[in-house]
């Protein structure tokens, strides 16, 4: 992933240095387990542990000869040890190292993602509670519907963030596995007891049945959870973009006054660029999820058609979601909420958005539903067209109505209080 969208912790996790360090951790754990089982002399195992080393440059240089990255790595490490280096990679095939090390890296990257997802949820919960009573218009099809509160809007995003958090937790657990079953997954070189001992050292679960590779439905599930989390971020970002439009102007992204520039040509602009960036990132994450599904079906016991895909999708997807989550946290924490503008926008329909309350009040007063609907519909449309408050029009056409009750905005706030209180379950 390009540097622009990579946070330092994820950059370190997916660096070439960290990848090879993780390969080495797997190799050393195998040597230790073999020594414990009596298959490798203790003094040789101690030398491997003490001397094993590599440099990224040396491995890359060796790969120019071998045209095989794991073989190049093993050559360099074995040479660094000396004679005892013959035990490095003993009984292993490349996938044993690659898939087990990948499980370690994904487990570590997953911790970062889950932490960010939890921080996002908590940020949304805080702002939802802050604005539980901030009245605003609710929209369906982009058109004014009924009043709601901004806290209710944010509470919906908070619960979605909570679901995404739990999906990520499950998916990360699913990929935190390893396999050291050898060629074709038959344990013909090292037995299952060595695999168990190594994975216990590394803190990974064992794959139930390995066909030389860890099945890729696990990785597809992770990429799917990442894509869903990205879609949730996009839903929030899309709402922010709409609410920041000049004609709406109810909420704005944080903007560093005196430093940030919204446009190279128009100094007045304050554009929702962070939300737009999140939206674009979500598109990439959906593409990675599709690639993950394509990786599930491999030929026979294994091929490596998945390898080239995963070198891009797994680092990039985790890096991008990490970045997008923290963009969203920045927006949630710093967004400027214009409660006065929200109140003003409530009046754009001249009271027509209270139509359902008027309809139900007329039905309860004895009118048929169709008669009530027609009365309210006509009043609402006149209010739209002529700018006459619908309350005045209903006073003429439906004098039996208790208009104070119908046009009580506080009813929506009281209901919102109950909805936002559900956040206590998180």
Tens of pLDDT along 356-400? Answer: 999 999 999 999 999 999 999 999 999 989 999 999 999 999 999
pLDDT at residue number 70 = 97
Q: Is the pLDDT of residue 260 over 80?
A: no
CA distances from 342 to 147, 149, 253, 339, 421 (A): 10, 9, 16, 5, 22
pLDDT at residue number 426 = 87
Cα separation, 153 vs 127, whole angstroms: 10
Q: Lowest mean pLDDT: which of 35-39, 252-256, 324-328?
A: 252-256
pLDDT at residue number 413 = 84
Cα separation, 389 vs 325, whole angstroms: 44
pLDDT at residue number 2 = 86
Domain 1-90 has CATH 1.10.287.180: no
pLDDT at residue number 270 = 80
Pair of tokens at residue 272 = 């929702």
- What burial class does residue 115 get, using C-beta atoms within 10 Å of its C-beta: 0-12 exposed, 13-18 middle, 19+ buried? middle
Q: Is the pLDDT of residue 330 over 90?
A: yes
Q: Which residues are catalytic?
A: 141, 263
Average confidence score pLDDT of the chain: 94
pLDDT at residue number 397 = 92
pLDDT at residue number 144 = 94
pLDDT at residue number 411 = 83
Q: Is the pLDDT of residue 91 over 80?
A: yes
Q: Is the pLDDT of residue 276 over 80?
A: yes
- Placement of tokens 């990520």 in the chain: 168
**Span 93-254+267-347+409-426 CATH architecture:** Up-down Bundle (1.20)
Say whether 27 sits in a helix, a strand or coil: helix
Residue among 131, 148, 46 nearest 338 (CA): 131
- Placement of tokens 């950059």 in the chain: 11
More confident residue, 12 or 410: 12
With a pLDDT cut of 70, the percent of the chain lying above it is 97
Domain ranges (residues) in the chain: 1-90, 93-254+267-347+409-426, 352-406
Cα separation, 263 vs 81, whole angstroms: 58
Q: Is the pLDDT of residue 257 over 70?
A: no
């Amino acid at each position: 992933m390009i540097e622009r969208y990579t946070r330092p912790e994820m950059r370190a996790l997916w660096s070439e240095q960290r990848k090879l360090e993780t390969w080495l951790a797997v190799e050393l754990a195998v040597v230790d387990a073999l020594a414990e089982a009596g298959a490798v002399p203790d003094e040789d195992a101690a030398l491997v542990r003490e001397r094993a080393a590599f440099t990224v440059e040396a491995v890359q240089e060796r790969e120019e000869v071998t045209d095989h990255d794991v073989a190049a790595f093993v050559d360099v490490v074995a040479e660094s040890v000396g004679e005892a280096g013959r035990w490095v990679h003993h009984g292993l095939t490349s996938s044993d190292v690659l898939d087990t090390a990948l499980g370690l890296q994904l487990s570590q990257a997953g911790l970062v993602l889950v932490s960010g997802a939890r921080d996002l949820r908590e940020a949304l919960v805080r702002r939802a509670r802050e604005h539980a009573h901030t009245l605003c218009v609710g929209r369906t099809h982009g058109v004014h519907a009924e009043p709601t509160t901004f806290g209710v809007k944010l509470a919906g995003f908070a619960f979605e963030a909570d679901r995404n958090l739990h999906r990520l937790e499950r998916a990360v657990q699913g990929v935190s596995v390893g396999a050291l079953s050898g060629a074709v997954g038959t344990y013909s070189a090292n037995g299952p007891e060595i695999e168990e001992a190594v994975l216990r050292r590394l803190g990974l679960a064992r794959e139930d049945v390995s066909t030389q590779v860890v099945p890729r439905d696990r990785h597809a599930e992770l990429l799917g959870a990442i894509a869903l989390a990205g879609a949730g971020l996009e839903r929030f970002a899309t709402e922010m973009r709409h609410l920041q439009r000049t004609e709406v102007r109810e909420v704005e992204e944080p903007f560093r006054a005196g430093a940030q520039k919204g446009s190279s040509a128009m100094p007045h602009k304050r554009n929702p660029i962070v939300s737009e960036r999140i939206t674009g990132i979500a598109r990439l994450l959906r593409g990675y999820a599709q690639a993950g599904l394509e990786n599930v079906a491999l030929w026979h016991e294994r091929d490596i058609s998945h390898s080239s895909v995963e070198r891009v999708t797994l680092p990039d997807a985790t890096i991008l979601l990490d970045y997008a989550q923290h963009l969203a946290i920045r927006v949630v924490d710093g967004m400027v909420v214009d409660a006065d503008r929200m109140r003003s926008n409530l009046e754009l329909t001249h009271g027509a958005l209270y139509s359902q309350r008027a309809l139900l009040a007329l039905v309860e007063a004895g009118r048929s539903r169709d008669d009530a609907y027609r009365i309210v519909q006509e009043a609402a449309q006149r209010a739209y067209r002529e700018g006459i408050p619908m309350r005045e029009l209903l006073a003429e056409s439906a004098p039996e109505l208790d208009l104070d009750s119908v046009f009580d905005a506080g009813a929506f706030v009281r209901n919102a209080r109950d909805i936002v209180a559900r956040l206590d379950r998180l």
